[in-house]
């Protein structure tokens, strides 16, 4: 197993990483604090036990020495403490003291009694620790001091307090990460819906200073990109518009030539050039067609109208949308997108199928399918670029300038949606237009 496989999994999102680091650090500091507290509590308990033992043994043994033998049994329970007690019997069988604490306690008892009594210490058990120290009173009665060291018992509410503190740490860590990541999440969301070629709302420049600086820089970049794209589109529109007049003059002059094969070829070239110019103007204007407020539209009625228009002129277009499917959008750009995709299917497949629906997150989709030659998988994205044609299947002989899908992409983006292409099983192409929820 290599090092990468042995590496612990690491969250992919920044918020999860911050939460893990912050919560882990706070939990570790919390555990260290309580560990030190419990260690200090253990040390204090041990010191208190040894000090009490040192002070108590001499008094207790002296008291038992002076009591009559018949009264000692009644007094022994009164001398009992939490960690040791006195027993009027010999020590239990066992080895000599095995732990440092047992030997230390034996030494303290011996010092407390001023070495006047011979002591016999026995280790009774180690887990839990228990040992006994035996001595004999002056009248020969055996007296055993049984020692069971233990810390102070924990209060029943202490585990609940610890759990509450951990929950509070988790809540504080989550709130801290949420407050820290919210501006970044808002910035990321705004960037995802950024349309450089359109006049959209600027990114909010509030929040932390770093996020505000980044938003300001991105707004400036968006403005520069928008200006650059607008300038290029204006140039394209102006050139395409200005070309229409000389193309018309050339077409009129060619029509005055004798009718022969050369004239027909020239007219075909001029028609193709005119189509290219018209689609160039349409492409330049396609990113600014969605203006005003969107309207609520019954998609079933809309697609039924589109299908009906094609069927009225004898085009094999079928399908539609389920009833009750309402979408907020701009009707004219949407009709242009659907029309471009249907025309593309008719041109290369001879027929088109339309269906629509709504996905699990509420976004409306419209799908135009055909049974044409399809597109190679590695070219599905490339064909959406302007002036890109597939010479092997969709070339000039079959028509098209390479702008139809590019215009559809621009129009889909102006509607706030997206356009994707997929090859169908069994042959053909599917164009999926997705509109925002």
Report whether 303 contacts 354 (CB < 8 A).
Answer: yes
Give me the CATH topology for the region 291-434. Heat Shock Protein 90 (3.30.565)
> 40: exposed, middle or buried (C-beta count within 10 Å: 0-12, 13-18, 19+)?
exposed
Q: How far apart are CA 400 and CA 390, in angstroms?
A: 11
pLDDT of residue 389: 66
pLDDT of residue 290: 55
pLDDT of residue 213: 81
pLDDT of residue 427: 87
Domain with CATH 3.30.450 in the chain: 26-147
Strands 295-298 and 352-358: unpaired
Residues with Cβ within 8 Å of 314's Cβ and at least 6 positions away in sequence, in order, are: none
Q: How far apart are CA 146 and CA 158, in angstroms?
A: 30
Report whether 79 contacts 86 (CB < 8 A).
Answer: yes
Q: What is the pTM of this model?
A: 0.48
Strand partners, 121: 133
Q: How far apart are CA 275 and CA 280, in angstroms?
A: 8
pLDDT of residue 1: 44
Element (H, E) at 244: helix 209-255
Residues with Cβ within 8 Å of 389's Cβ and at least 6 positions away in sequence, in order, are: 383, 395, 396, 400, 402
Residues with Cβ within 8 Å of 157's Cβ and at least 6 positions away in sequence, in order, are: none
> 181: exposed, middle or buried (C-beta count within 10 Å: 0-12, 13-18, 19+)?
middle
Report whether 118 contacts 135 (CB < 8 A).
Answer: yes
Strand partners, 228: none
pLDDT of residue 367: 94
83-87, Cβ contacts within 8 angstroms, sequence gap of 24 or more? 83/49, 83/147, 83/148, 83/149, 83/150, 84/49, 84/53, 84/145, 84/146, 84/147, 84/148, 85/145, 85/146, 86/60, 86/143, 86/144, 86/145, 86/146, 87/132, 87/143, 87/144, 87/145, 87/146
Q: How far apart are CA 299 and CA 293, in angstroms?
A: 17
Give, in order, the Cα–Cα distances in Å from 153 to each of 38, 53, 77, 157.
Answer: 11, 19, 21, 12
Tell me the torsion sign for CA atoms 382, 383, 384, 388. positive
Which two three-digit tokens encode residue 204?
């909010």
Give me the CATH topology for the region 26-147. Beta-Lactamase (3.30.450)
From first to last of its 437 residues, the chain has per-residue pLDDT tens of 445 445 557 777 777 777 788 778 878 887 888 788 777 777 777 777 777 788 888 898 999 989 998 899 999 999 888 888 999 999 888 888 888 888 888 888 888 888 999 999 999 888 888 889 999 998 899 999 998 887 666 667 877 888 888 888 888 888 888 877 777 777 777 766 666 555 666 777 776 777 778 778 878 887 887 777 677 767 767 777 777 778 888 888 888 888 888 888 888 878 777 777 776 666 665 555 555 678 888 999 999 999 999 999 999 999 989 888 988 888 888 888 899 899 889 988 899 999 999 888 888 999 999 998 888 888 888 788 776 666 544 444 444 556 678 878 878 887 888 899 999 888 889 999 998 87
Cβ atoms within 10 A of the Cβ of 116, count? 10
| Angle CA 264–267–273, to nearest 5 | 145
Domain with CATH 3.30.565.10 in the chain: 291-434
């Amino acid at each position: 197993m290599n090092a990468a496989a042995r590496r612990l999994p690491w969250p992919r999102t920044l918020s999860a990483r911050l939460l893990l680091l912050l919560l882990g650090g706070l939990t570790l500091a919390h555990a260290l604090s309580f560990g030190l507290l419990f260690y200090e509590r253990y040390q204090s308990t041990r010191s208190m036990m040894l000090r009490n033992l040192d002070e108590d043994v001499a008094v207790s043994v002296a008291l038992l020495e002076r009591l009559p033998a018949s009264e000692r049994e009644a007094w022994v329970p009164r001398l009992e403490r939490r960690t040791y007690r006195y027993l009027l019997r010999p020590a239990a069988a066992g080895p000599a003291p095995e732990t440092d604490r047992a030997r230390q306690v034996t030494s303290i008892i011996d010092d407390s009694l001023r070495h006047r009594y011979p002591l016999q210490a026995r280790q009774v058990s180690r887990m839990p620790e228990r040992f006994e120290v035996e001595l004999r009173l002056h009248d020969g009665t055996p007296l055993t001091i049984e020692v069971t060291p233990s810390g102070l018992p924990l209060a029943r509410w202490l585990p609940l307090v610890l759990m509450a503190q951990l929950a509070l740490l988790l809540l504080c860590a989550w709130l801290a990460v949420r407050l820290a990541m919210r501006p970044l999440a808002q910035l990321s969301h705004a960037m995802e819906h950024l349309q450089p070629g359109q006049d959209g709302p600027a990114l909010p420049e509030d929040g932390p200073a770093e996020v505000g600086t980044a938003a300001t820089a991105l707004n400036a970049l968006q403005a520069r990109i928008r200006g650059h794209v607008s300038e290029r589109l204006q140039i394209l529109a102006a050139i395409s518009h200005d070309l229409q007049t000389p193309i018309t003059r050339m077409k009129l002059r060619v029509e005055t030539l004798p009718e022969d094969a050369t004239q027909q070829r020239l007219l075909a070239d001029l028609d193709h050039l005119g189509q290219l110019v018209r689609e160039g103007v349409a492409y330049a204007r396609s990113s600014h067609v969605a203006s005003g407020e969107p309207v609520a539209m019954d998609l079933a009625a809309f697609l039924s109208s589109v299908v009906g228009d094609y069927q009225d002129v004898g085009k094999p277009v079928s399908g539609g949308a389920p009833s009750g499917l309402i979408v907020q959008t701009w009707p004219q750009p949407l009709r242009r997108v659907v029309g471009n995709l249907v025309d593309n299917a008719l041109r290369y497949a001879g027929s088109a199928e339309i269906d629509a629906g709504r996905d699990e997150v509420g976004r409306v989709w419209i799908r135009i399918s055909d049974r044409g030659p399809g597109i190679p998988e590695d070219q599905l994205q490339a064909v959406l670029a302007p002036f890109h044609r597939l010479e092997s299947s969709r070339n000039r002989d079959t028509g098209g300038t390479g702008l139809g899908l590019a215009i559809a992409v621009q129009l889909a983006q102006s509607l706030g949606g997206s356009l994707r292409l997929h090859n169908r099983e069994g042959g053909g192409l599917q164009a999926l237009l997705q509109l925002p929820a």
